[in-house]
Amino acid sequence: MLNISNSPIDDQILNENYSSFNSVMVPRLARSLSYWLLGMLGVFVLVLFLPWTQNIEGRGRMTTLRPDQRPQTIHSTIAGRIEQWYVNEGDTVRKGDTILFLSEIKDDYFDPQLLSRTDAQIDAKEGAAEAYGGKAEALARQIDALNATLGLKLNQLQNKLLQAQLKVESDSIDLIASKINLQIAETQYLRWDTLLKQGIKSRTEWEEKRNKVQESRAKFVSQENKLGVSRNELLNARIELNNVRNEYAEKVAKAQSDRQSALSDRFDTEAQVAKMENQLSNYEARTRFRYITAPQDGFINQALKPGIGETVKEGEAVVSILPLGYQLAAEIFVRPVDLPLLKKGEHVRLEFDGWPSIVFSGWPNASFGTFGGHIFAIETNISEKGNYRILIEPDPNDPWPEPLRMGAGVHAFALLNDVPLWYEIWRQLNSFPPDYYNGGGAGDTKDLKKEAKK
C-alpha cells in the first residue's frame, strides 16, 4: 500500500472496490494532458525565438516591363465607314499588315480622280508661274534696252547742248565785235561830221560814214538777235535733255513696276503651287489612312467596331491588339507608410493567381509555389486609391511560369530584416513600422532603429 516493500501489491488490489482510492489518486488522462500542455508551451517558447523575415505586402496585377509592349487600341486617323475586315479576333498580325479598310464619308473626298485632278491643277499653276517668270525676264530685258537707249539719247543731247553752248559763245564774241565796229563807226562819223562843219571833208564822204554807222548798228542788232536765238537753242537743248531723262525714267519705272507685278504674281502662284502640293500630299496620306494597319507585331484581342457599314469618327478606337514578344512584370500597390522601406533592385517574392502555393510571409524559405523578382521602378506619384505603384521584373535565377498572362492577379512580399518571432509579434501588437533593411542580413535591431531614425 505504502510502497515500502520490494514486493508491490498494487496490481492485486482492485481500486474500484474502494471509494477512498478514487478520491485521492490522480487520473492518468489529466497527467498526460499536463505533459502535452507543458510540451506545447515549450515548443511555443522555442518558436518565439525562431528568425522571422519582416516583409511588406502588396497586391496588383501582371503587366509588361516596357510601355510599348502593353495592350493598346488602334484608332482611326480619319472618319470613315468600315467596308472590309482582313483579320479575325485571335489572329496574329505582323507590323504593316492590313486590319480593315475604310471608305470616305466626307463629300470633299468623294471624287475618285481627286489625286489626278489636283495634280493637273498643280501643273497648270506651275505653267502660270513659269509664264509670269518669262514676263518678268522680258520686262527686265526691256528695262535694260531702255537704259541703253537713254544713255545714247543723253550722249546725243549732251553733244547738242555743247554745240549750243559753243554757238552762244561764238555769237557773244560776234556781238562784241559788232559793238566795237559800231563804236568805231560812230567815232568816225562824229569826226567826219566835225570835219564837214570845218569844210575839210565833203558831204559825200560824210554820208558814207553815216551809212556805215547805220550798217554797223544794223549788224549789231542782228548779232544781238542771233545771240538771243542761240541762247534760246541752248535753253531748248537743256529742256530737251531733261525731258528725255524724265521720259525714259517714267518708261523704266513703268517697266520695273510691271516686272515687280509679274514677280509678285509668280511668287503668289508658286505659293499656291506649294499649298496645292501640300494638299496633294495630304490627300495621298489620307488615301493611305483608309487602310488601318498593325503598328507592330501583335495578337488581335477584340474588334471594337465589328460591323460592316459602321461609321467611325476621327481618333476613335476600332480594334484592340496585344503586342508579341513582351516581357512580363508585376504591378503592385503598397501603402505610403511602406514606401520609404523599398528601393530599386530589392528582392521580392511573388504569388500568382492560378498557381497553387503555400505562403509563409515571414519564412520565405519554407514557402512553396512563390517566385522571385526584383523591384524595377518605384512610382513617385500616388494613385487615386492612395497607394504607390511598384513595378517588379522577373528574377533570372527564378523564372516565372510560361503560361502566365497579363492581367492576372499577383501577391508580392518585399523582404526586409530578419528578427525573432517574438519581436515581430510585439511590433505588430504595437503597430510599429518594420525595421529598415540595410542589406546586411540579420543584424543588431538597435543599430537598425538608429539608421531608420536618421
For the ranges 45-59, 140-154, 427-441, the one whose mean pLDDT is highest: 140-154
DSSP 292: E
Give all strands of the β-sheet with 98-104 in edge-to-edge order: 291-293, 98-104, 80-85, 311-312
pLDDT digits 0-9 by tens, 71-126: 889 999 899 999 999 998 888 999 989 999 999 988 888 888 888 999 999 999 99
Nearest CA among 173, 280, 186, 265 for reference residue 227? 173
Measured CA to CA in angstroms, residue 139 lies from 23, 200, 256, 351 at distances of: 143, 85, 7, 87
pLDDT at 23: 58
- The Cα 280–Cα 44 span in angstroms is 84
Asked if pLDDT for residue 56 goes beyond 80, the answer is: no
In this predicted model, what pLDDT tens digit does every residue of 305-352 receive, in sequence order?
A: 888 888 899 989 999 998 887 888 999 898 887 777 788 888 888 888
For 25-50, the pLDDT digits (tens) are: 555 666 677 778 888 888 777 777 77
Alpha-carbon distance 121 to 90, whole Å?
Answer: 46
Partnered with residue 303 across adjacent β-strands are 319
Residue 267 has what pLDDT? 93
SS3 sequence, 396-443? Answer: CCECCCCCCCCCCEEEEEEEEEEEEHHHHHHHHHCCCCCCCCCCCCCC
Task: Give yes or no on whether 50-68+326-453 and 71-97+294-323 have one common fold.
Answer: no
Q: Which amino acid is at 89?
A: E
* Set of cell numbers at residue 75: 484608332
Name which of 228-242, 402-416, 418-432 the model is least confident about.
Answer: 418-432
Q: How far apart are CA 401 and CA 158, in angstroms?
A: 106
Report the sign of the C-alpha dihedral through residues 241, 243, 244, 249, in that order.
positive
Fold that domain 50-68+326-453 belongs to in CATH: Elongation Factor Tu (Ef-tu); domain 3 (2.40.30)
Q: Residue 447's pLDDT band (boundaries 50, 70, 90)?
A: very low
Given the candidates 1.10.287.620, 1.10.1200.10, 1.10.10.10, 2.40.160.40, the CATH classification of the domain at 114-289 is 1.10.287.620
Fold for the domain defined by 71-97+294-323: OB fold (Dihydrolipoamide Acetyltransferase, E2P) (2.40.50)
**pLDDT over threshold 60, residue 368:** no
Q: How far apart are the first and last CA of the chain?
A: 73
Per-residue cell: 236: 531748248
Domain ranges across the chain: 50-68+326-453, 71-97+294-323, 114-289
| Helix/strand/coil (H/E/C) assignment for every residue in 300-350 | EEEECCCCCCCEECCCCEEEEEEECCCCEEEEEEECHHHHHHCCCCCEEEE
> Angle between the 421-429 and 28-48 helix axes, to the nearest 10 degrees?
80
> Which 3 state secondary structure label does DSSP give 202?
coil
Pick from 399, 376, 378: nearest CA to 388: 378
